[in-house]
Chains A and B, each alone.
Chain A
Amino acid sequence: EAGVVQSPRYKIIEKKQPVAFWCNPISGHNTLYWYLQNLGQGPELLIRYENEEAVDDSQLPKDRFSAERLKGVDSTLKIQPAELGDSAVYLCASSKGTSGLNEQFFGPGTRLTVL
């Protein structure tokens, strides 16, 4: 079974530029998560999708971040414009269901560097 796929793996951009990250979850997993991980810290949830609906985006900085999950499968996370403080690893995860008992599996992440 293929795992969570993310691209690109690395991205270097100048500040104020836009950037987008793509995620394909594990087949059959209805719930998709985007996390942000800073160095030396655990991942922090940005947004959770159940199928195509964003059910928890309370931690997403909506002035510059946006996300979509068309057709309830792939998802894209966008930052526009990027700031220096956005440099981090962006992780996508998926789980089969929506209860707290469901295990979440992470993709390889996208390491973003904003210069």
Chain B
Amino acid sequence: QKEVEQNSGPLSVPEGAIASLNCTYSDRVSQSFFWYRQYSGKSPELIMSIYSNGDKEDGRFTAQLNKASQYVSLLIRDSQPSDSATYLCAVNRMDSSYKLIFGSGTRLLVRP
């Protein structure tokens, strides 16, 4: 079992819809969670971080964390074609390694 799991997709949604991206993690000591967006041929760009259970909103993006279920998600409201990218979920343990563990990413396609 991978430490951070994401559906590879592609997840296809129409323009203006809500895109829901999901991520599960296996290590219960994980305490901080990040969503990165990666366009083809580009490097990962940080878009959201979340540390506490519940929702965190930033513009069109909402991150949701449920530590009991070991589940973190990213909602993108009013999806735009420019949101088409791969979204990487990353999890950081709170042990001495502070290692960021990435999932393989979910590819999102927003249809005009």
Contact = CB atoms under 8 A, between A and B. Distances in A.
A44 interface: yes
A80 B31 CA distance: 37
Given A100-B31, A108-B43, A109-B43, A45 B49 contact: no
A98 interface: yes
Given A56-B99, A100-B32, A101-B32, A41 B42 contact: no
B51 interface: yes
Interface string A62-75: 00000000000000
The CB with the most chain A CB atoms within 10 A, among B46, B49, B100, is that of: B100
* Chain B interface size range: 20 to 34
Interface in A75-95: 89, 91
Interface in B78-112: 88, 90, 92-94, 97-100, 102-105
Nearest to B48: A103
B34 interface: yes
Nearest to B46: A103
B98 A48 contact: yes
Contacts of B97: 56
Contact of B92 (A44, A56, A100, A106): A100
B45 interface: yes
B102 A44 contact: yes
Given A41-B104, A44-B102, A100-B31, A105 B46 contact: yes
Contact of A98 (B32, B93, B98): B98
8 contacts: A41-B105, A42-B4, A42-B90, A43-B100, A56-B99, A100-B94, A101-B32, A101-B92
Interface of B: 4, 8, 31-32, 34, 36, 42-46, 49, 51, 88, 90, 92-94, 97-100, 102-105
Interface of A: 33, 40-45, 48, 56, 89, 91, 98-101, 103-109
